[in-house]
Amino acid sequence: MTSNTIVSVICIPMRLPFHHWSSPPLFAGRPRDKLDSALVRVQTQDGSVAWGESYCVEPRALQAIFETLVAPLACGRQADEETLLPGMQRVLHNLGRSGPVVHALAGLDIALWDLRAKRAGVPLHALLGGMRRERVRVYASLLQYYGKAELLHSVTARALAQGFTEIKLHERTAEALAAVRHATGPGVPIMVDTNCAWLPHEAEAAIAAMLPHEPYWIEEPLWVPEDAQALATLRQRCGVPLAVGENASSALALRRMAEQGTVQYVQPSVIKLGLTAALDIARSCEGTGTVCAPQVAFFGPGFLASLHLIAAQQDEVSLERLFVELAHVPYAATVPIENGWLQVPDAPGLGADPEPALVEGRYAG
Q: Is the CB of 113 or the CB of 217 nearer to Mg ion?
A: 217
Cα(294)–Cα(307) distance, integer angstroms: 9
Return the range that interacts with Mg ion (CB under 5 A); candidates 10-18, 45-53, 190-198, 298-306: 190-198
Site size for Mg ion (CB under 5 A): 1
Question: Would you tell me how many other CB atoms lie within 10 Å of the CB of residue 234?
Answer: 22
Distance CA 63, CA 134 (A): 36
Q: At closest approach, how far in Å is the CB of 172 from Mg ion?
A: 13
| DSSP state at residue 349 | B
Least CB distance from residue 248 to Mg ion, whole Å? 12
Residue 286's contacts (CB-CB under 8 Å, 6 or more residues apart) are: 314
Q: Residue with CB nearest Mg ion?
A: 193
Contacts with Mg ion, 312-351, as mask; x by CB under 5 A: ----------------------------------------
Q: Omega into 224 within 30° of 0, i.e. cis? A: yes
Q: Is 19 exposed, middle or buried (0-12, 13-18, 19+ CB in 10 A)?
A: exposed
- Least distance (Å) from Mg ion to the CB of residue 269? 9
Candidates 151, 241, 228; CA nearest to 191 is 241
Shortest distance in whole angstroms from residue 267 CB to Mg ion: 7
**Considering only 15-23, 193-201, 204-212, 356-364, which stretch makes contact with Mg ion by CB under 5 A?**
193-201
CB nearer to Mg ion: pick between 48 and 98: 98
Instruction: Choose between 225 and 349: whose C-beta lies nearer to Mg ion.
Output: 225
Q: Which is nearer to Mg ion, 171 or 193 (CB)?
A: 193
Find the shortest distance in angstroms from Cβ 51 to Mg ion: 24
Helix (H, G, I), strand (E, B) or coil at 317: coil
Give the one residue of 109, 171, 193, 353 binding Mg ion; rule: CB under 5 A: 193
Q: Quick count: other Cβ atoms within 10 Å of Cβ 281?
A: 28
Closer to Mg ion at the Cβ: 181 or 272?
Answer: 272
Binding window for Mg ion (CB under 5 A); candidates: 44-52, 67-75, 115-123, 185-193: 185-193
Closer residue to Mg ion (CB): 53 or 193 = 193
Pick the closer one to Mg ion by CB: 166 or 193.
193
Sheet holding 325-326, edge to edge: 49-54, 34-44, 6-19, 325-326
| In the complex, least distance from residue 221 CB atom to Mg ion, rounded to whole angstroms | 11
Closest approach, Cβ 247 to Mg ion, in A, equals: 8
Q: Which is nearer to Mg ion, 123 or 221 (CB)?
A: 221
Count how many Cα atoms sit within 13 Å of the Cα of residue 156 in the half-sphere of its side chain: 28
Q: Which residues contact 233 (CB under 8 A, 6 or more apart)?
A: 200
Q: What is the 3-class SS of 290-341, one letter each residue?
A: CEECCCCCCCCHHHHHHHHHHHHCCCCCCEEEECCEECCCCCCCCCCEECCE
Q: Whose Cβ is closer to Mg ion: residue 111's or residue 142's?
A: 142
Least distance to Mg ion from the beta carbon of 244, Å? 9
DSSP single-letter state for residue 192: E
Tell me 218's DSSP state.
Answer: E
Stretch that binds Mg ion, among 24-32, 96-104, 114-122, 189-197 (CB under 5 A): 189-197
Gap between the Cα atoms of 231 and 297, Å rounded: 23
Considering only 16-24, 56-64, 100-108, 187-195, which stretch makes contact with Mg ion by CB under 5 A? 187-195
- For 190, phi and psi rounded to 5 degrees? -125, 110
Applying CB under 5 A, the residues found at the interface with Mg ion are 193
